[in-house]
């Protein structure tokens, strides 16, 4: 990734994702479809790892927090658009799913074409990385940081995916019909996207980072208690919306100590971000799985919500150490 520069690597990742879309639309049997989907697994992580590292190189201070929030917001908005347009609009219009995929491929081509001149402009600013064996301290000296930030990532996606995948079912179990539950979930998602742009810029220094993490964890805890019905049904919607607002920026808050680390070189950021997402996705899998299993075993969501509350309260503790590696003020340190 560093040999050819992060912007060039992101371009390659985008081309792989685009090829996956085209090949999925043109797949003629299951093996060809499987190969096309596998390409997505090759290109997607390149973008997921490279994009936050590039953001860390280009921005600092509050601008870093806003850029990280915008980076996480963009896929969320794209997901809303694709899910809301593919089934209700595009499939009835074209009459088959292949043309839907090819339509999204055409739109992706437009975005990728717009990225090319940006990549050229950034190539001179970021450039290829230095000698990978000589840049920065050995990663083994940052084992504590790596362990804590990866555990924080796993806890964050445990809470995020658990709430997002099962939130509507929790609302239904509380007595809301499907339409009302969907509306509450949509409002919570909208608040989460808003929080992604507002909250991260407030968490880019040592002191502010842990304070923001504690406030978000407190909101998740309050929302969880409200969803459990401890304060009565009138507070359920308020708790659900508070959860949506707090869960939205959690992943960004967990990433900021990596991209804002005052001593990390680009190579170390890439390694840590890669490890972060590898471990975080374990939590992202365990969150919905835990909800489903415990719901089957207990017949309700109370136990699962208690576990979600406990995991959420652990996030500030896990981020306390890594947050100390941020700058003490909103001036850029020497990280490369």
Structure tokens at 328: 């003490």
Structure tokens at 55: 């953001």
**Per-residue burial over 288-309, b = 16 or more CB atoms within 10 Å of its CB, e = otherwise:** bebbeebbeeeeebbbbbebbb
Span between the terminal Cα atoms of the chain, in Å = 16
Contact at 8 Å (CB) between 207 and 317?
Answer: no
Q: What pTM was estimated for this model as a whole?
A: 0.80
| Segments of the chain scoring below 70 in pLDDT | 1-4, 123-140, 230-232, 328-336
What is the rounded CA–CA span in Å between residue 225 and residue 258? 31
pLDDT of res. 292: 92
| Ordered DSSP codes for 51-119 | HHHHHHHH--HHHHHHHHHHHHHHHHHHHHHHHHHIIIIIHHHHSSHHHHHHHHHHHHHHHHHHHHHHH
pLDDT of res. 46: 86
Q: Which domains does the chain have, with CATH numbers?
A: 6-126 (1.20.1250.20), 139-323 (1.20.1250.20)
pLDDT of res. 125: 55
Per residue in 261-302, pLDDT (tens digit) is 777 777 788 888 889 998 998 999 999 999 999 999 998 899
What is the rounded CA–CA span in Å between residue 173 and residue 321? 39
pLDDT of res. 140: 62
pLDDT of res. 2: 55
pLDDT of res. 135: 45
Per residue in 46-80, pLDDT (tens digit) is 888 888 888 888 888 888 889 988 888 888 888 88
206: nearest Cα among 261, 166, 165, 243: 261
């Amino acid at each position: 990734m560093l040999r050819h520069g992060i912007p060039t690597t992101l371009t390659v990742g985008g081309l792989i994702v685009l090829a996956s879309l085209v090949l999925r639309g043109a797949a003629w049997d299951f093996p060809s479809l499987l190969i096309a989907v596998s390409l997505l697994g090759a290109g997607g992580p390149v973008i997921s790892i490279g994009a936050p590292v590039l953001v860390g190189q280009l921005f600092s201070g509050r601008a870093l927090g806003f850029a990280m929030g915008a980076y996480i917001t963009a896929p969320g908005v794209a997901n809303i658009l694709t899910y809301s347009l593919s089934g209700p609009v595009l499939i009835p219009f074209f009459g088959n799913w292949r043309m839907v995929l090819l339509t999204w491929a055409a739109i992706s081509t437009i975005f990728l074409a717009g990225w090319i001149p940006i990549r050229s402009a950034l190539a001179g600013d970021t450039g290829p990385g230095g000698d990978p064996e000589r840049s920065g301290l050995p990663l083994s000296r940052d084992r504590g940081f790596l362990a804590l930030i990866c555990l924080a990532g796993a806890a964050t996606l445990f809470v995020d995916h658990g709430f997002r995948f099962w939130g509507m079912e929790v609302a239904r179990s509380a007595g809301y019909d499907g339409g009302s539950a969907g509306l509450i979930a949509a409002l919570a998602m909208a608040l989460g996207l808003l929080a992604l742009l507002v909250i991260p810029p407030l968490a880019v220094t040592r002191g502010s980072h842990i304070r923001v993490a504690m406030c978000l964890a407190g909101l998740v805890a309050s929302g969880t208690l409200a969803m459990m019905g401890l304060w009565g049904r009138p507070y359920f919607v308020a708790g659900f919306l508070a959860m949506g607002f707090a869960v939205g920026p959690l992943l960004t808050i967990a990433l900021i100590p990596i991209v804002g680390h005052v001593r990390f070189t680009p190579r170390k950021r890439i390694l840590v971000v890669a490890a972060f997402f590898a471990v975080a996705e374990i939590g992202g899998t365990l969150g919905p799985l835990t909800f489903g299993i415990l719901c089957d075993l207990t017949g309700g969501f109370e136990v699962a919500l208690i576990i979600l509350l406990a995991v959420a309260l652990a996030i500030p503790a896990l981020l306390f150490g890594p947050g100390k590696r941020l700058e003490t003020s909103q001036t850029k340190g020497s990280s490369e």
